[in-house]
Amino acid sequence: MQSRKDQLLGLALVSPSILAVLIFVYGFIAWSGRVSLSQWKGLMPDYTWAGLQNYIGLFTDPRFRIDIRNTVVFTVLFVGGCLVLGLTLAILLDQGLRGEGFFRSLYLFPMAISFIVTGVVWRWLMNPAQGSRISGLNLIFDQLGLDFLINKWHTTPEWGIAFIAIPAIWQMSGYTMALYLGGLRAIPESLREAARVDGASEFAMYRRIILPLLSPITLSAMIILGHISLKVFDLIVAVAGKQIPLDVPAIYMWTTTFDGNFYGRGASIGILLLLSVAVLVIPYLRYTLKNEAEL
Amino acid sequence: MTAIQSRKRYFFYIPLVLMAIFYLIPIYIMLVTGFKSFAEVDLQTMWRLPQGIHFDNFVEAFTKLAPHLWNSIKLVIPAAIISSILGSLNGFVLARWKFPGADVIFPVLLFGMFIPYQSILIPLVQFMREINLYGGVWGLVLTHVIYGIPITTLTFRNYYATVPKELIESAKIDGASMMRTYFYILLPLSLPSFVVVLIWQFTSAWNDFLFAVVLTSPENWPITVALNNMAGSQIIAWNVQMAGSFIAAVPTLLVYIFLGRYFLRGLMSGALKG
């Protein structure tokens, strides 16, 4: 048992931080919620009640429809790409090859770099110019005779957003690999041995035993990557600036609020983003915390 | 060891090397472009190695970005240090002391790590205006410290929870107060956690764009905002942008190269922040 003095001291130490989180996270969310229900347009705050008008407006707004569609396309490709690549690399690295540590560090380093740097470099790698002004990856494809790969990248009509997934996968697939590698290392060798003794091929062993055992990792990775994907913002801005064909909710929120002064609408996009992240993250946190409590 | 024959295992290197090339392409292009002379720079020959080492691009990018690099440094150092100290104290109290409501605080903090900051951005700007920190670096420091509380607290808390109870108990029997226990026993033990959290906060503040672009005025822009602005302008050549990107990436890359072990641990322990 702690002394009373220690308890008071403990309380004094943590309460400012907890208070700060309560105010700056939860209080500010409530405040945003209130703004989203207001008519606030322009520089001066205006809390005149507007009901759900901002939300209704968004769902009939063609730009917001593009945003949702872009988010879905981007999420499917980005999460799918990271999972496939991450798992493949993890399995390859788990074979006990020489140089494993080197490859692992190499695949993971993009995590240390900002999305802005990644975006600026990929903007030039994905240069859409063709013909005599061809450059970037298109130039390599041209010189290697892989002309069928030459394309307009993020400036492709309608599907430009799909190409934004490439730098995003470049940045986050190493992280996914590290998650999977951790999972693979936790599987006892005896299990694999048992499968081999029973005559299972390597492939069958991975499909029937290893993959199912990795499914909690897949779930975590999907949730972590999925919530990053819902928030994607700086990468797109750095690759392409603010363009409607590549618009996503986070960019719409930014431009409509701080360029257009439509605060009410901006706040409602923020709240919708929060809800979509919450739907993904809260069940996951409950599950993780429950498991931790049982340990 | 797997049962696959060693000869077959060589084939595993093919995809591994191909992927290594994929991850290195952006680094290659940044460096190759950076070291070319202005005369050599041409989009049509962008993949070629430079003829000799020139610093034109780096010098040009550095002169343009220097004030913003300095802003980033002024932002990142206090943000990382204050965050770590706060996180350590919070983590210590939460790990050692079961007070009423402790079970609620944990998930409440955890969720704070995941929120999309768009959902607090408008109040944050209003608040910073109110307390006159809008536009400057200190407002950004405060922002990183506050929104870093969940991850730093949880990282330390998880670490302190692994310290054997007996160690604390024996200190208590010897009559040490809570703070003495913290300073003389737990703090020295948790130096590795300090490195983890310092690196984590350093990296996320250095790489942040959203808070910076919304909260700072142009003269206080950190490197990410300045670099993005450079990339969006028509006046600054792409080769200078490449050199600038490299300059912006160097600090966090160095941290990764030299302290990668801790960087990874931060990545995995907090497992979870984006």
Indicate the domain borders of chain B. Answer: 6-45, 62-269
Please check whether residue B59 touches A, CB under 8 A: no
Instruction: Give B46-49's long-range contacts (Cβ < 8 A, gap of 24+).
Output: B46/A124, B46/A135, B46/A136, B46/A139, B47/A139, B47/A140
Q: Mark which residues 69-98 of A lie under 8 Å from B by CB.
A: 85, 88-89, 92-93, 95-97
**Could you tell me if the ipTM is greater than 0.90?**
yes
| Closest CA in chain B for residue A236 | B228
Q: Please answer yes or no on whether B272 and A220 come within 8 Å at the CB atom.
A: yes
Q: Please answer yes or no on whether A9 and B116 come within 8 Å at the CB atom.
A: no
Per-residue pLDDT of chain A (295 residues; tens, 9 = 90+): 457 777 788 888 899 999 999 999 999 999 999 999 999 999 999 999 999 999 999 999 999 999 999 999 999 999 999 999 999 999 999 988 889 999 999 999 999 999 999 999 999 999 998 888 888 999 999 999 998 999 999 999 999 999 999 999 999 999 999 999 999 999 998 888 888 888 888 888 899 889 999 999 999 999 999 999 999 999 999 999 999 999 999 999 999 999 999 999 999 999 999 999 999 999 988 887 777 666 5
Please check whether residue B123 touches A, CB under 8 A: yes
Please check whether residue B93 touches A, CB under 8 A: yes
Rounded to whole angstroms, the maximal C-alpha distance in chain A is 79
Residue type at B109? L
- Residue B54's φ and ψ, nearest 5 degrees, are -125, 155
Which residues touch A70 (CB under 8 Å, ≥6 apart)?
Answer: A161, A246, A247, A248
Selecting from A174, A192, A273 the residue whose C-beta is nearest the C-beta of B119 gives A273
Superfamily of domain A62-294: MetI-like (1.10.3720.10)
Please check whether residue A26 touches B, CB under 8 A: yes
Please check whether residue B83 touches A, CB under 8 A: no
Selecting from B23, B86, B264 the residue whose C-beta is nearest the C-beta of A17 gives B86
Residue with tokens 């750095």: A238
Contacts of A9 in chain B (CB under 8 A): 178-179
- Residue B42's φ and ψ, nearest 5 degrees, are -160, 130
Q: Give the DSSP letter of residue A50.
A: -
pLDDT at B174: 82
Model confidence at B6: pLDDT above 70: no
Q: How confident is the model at residue B4 (pLDDT cuts 50, 70, 90)?
A: low
Q: What does the alpha-carbon distance between residue A69 and residue A278 come to, in Å, rounded to a whole number?
A: 19
Residue A58: closest CA among A271, A279, A269, A277: A269
Tokens at B1, concatenated: 């060891």
Q: Please answer yes or no on whether A95 and B12 come within 8 Å at the CB atom.
A: yes
Please check whether residue A186 touches B, CB under 8 A: no
Which is more confidently placed, B41 or A292? B41
Contacts of A285 in chain B (CB under 8 A): 107, 110-111, 114
Q: How confident is the model at residue B270 (pLDDT cuts 50, 70, 90)?
A: low
Q: What does the alpha-carbon distance between residue A293 and residue A276 come to, in Å, rounded to a whole number?
A: 26
Q: Give the DSSP letter of residue A259.
A: I
pLDDT at B1: 44
Which residues touch B187 (CB under 8 Å, ≥6 apart)?
Answer: B88
Contacts of A10 in chain B (CB under 8 A): 93, 96-97, 99, 178
Cα angle A124, B274, A291; round to 5: 150
Residue A207 to residues A95, A181, A202, Cα–Cα distance (Å): 16, 16, 9
Q: What does the alpha-carbon distance between residue B271 and residue B160 come to, in Å, rounded to a whole number?
A: 17
Tell me the three state secondary structure of residue A241. Answer: coil
Tokens at B89, concatenated: 């104290």
Contact assessment for residue B91 and residue B155, using Cβ atoms and an 8 Å cutoff: yes
Among the CATH numbers 3.40.50.170, 3.40.50.300, 3.40.50.1100, 1.10.3720.10, which is that of B62-269? 1.10.3720.10
Selecting from B30, B120, B153 the residue whose C-beta is nearest the C-beta of A28 gives B120
Contact assessment for residue A90 and residue A180, using Cβ atoms and an 8 Å cutoff: yes
Q: Give the DSSP letter of residue B135.
A: B
CA distance A116 to chain B (A): 6
Please check whether residue B227 touches A, CB under 8 A: yes
CA distance B61 to chain A (A): 14
CA distance B55 to chain A (A): 19
Indicate the domain borders of chain A. Answer: 62-294
Please check whether residue A187 touches B, CB under 8 A: no
Tell me the three state secondary structure of residue B211. Answer: helix
**Helix or strand run (H / E) with residue B105:** helix B102-114
Average pLDDT, stretch B263-270?
A: 71
Please check whether residue A161 touches B, CB under 8 A: no
Selecting from A5, A134, A271 the residue whose C-beta is nearest the C-beta of B119 gives A271
DSSP secondary structure string for all residues of B193-210? HHHHHHHHHHHHHHH--H
Question: What's chain B's average pLDDT?
Answer: 89
Residue with tokens 């055992």: A213
pLDDT at B272: 46
Which residues touch A218 (CB under 8 Å, ≥6 apart)?
Answer: A83, A87
Q: Please answer yes or no on whether B231 and A196 come within 8 Å at the CB atom.
A: no
Which residues touch B228 (CB under 8 Å, ≥6 apart)?
Answer: A116, A119, A120, A234, A237, A238, B209, B213
Mutation site for A-interface testing, chosen from B10, B84, B119, B224 by largest number of A Cβ within 10 Å: B119
Average pLDDT, stretch B218-240?
A: 92
Q: Give the DSSP letter of residue B234.
A: S
Model confidence at B68: pLDDT above 90: yes
Q: What does the alpha-carbon distance between residue A168 and residue A176 come to, in Å, rounded to a whole number?
A: 12
**Helix or strand run (H / E) with residue A32:** helix A28-36
Please check whether residue B171 touches A, CB under 8 A: no
Tokens at B159, concatenated: 């670490």
Residue B22: closest CA among A169, A94, A73: A169
Percent of chain B whose predicted confidence (pLDDT) is above 70: 95
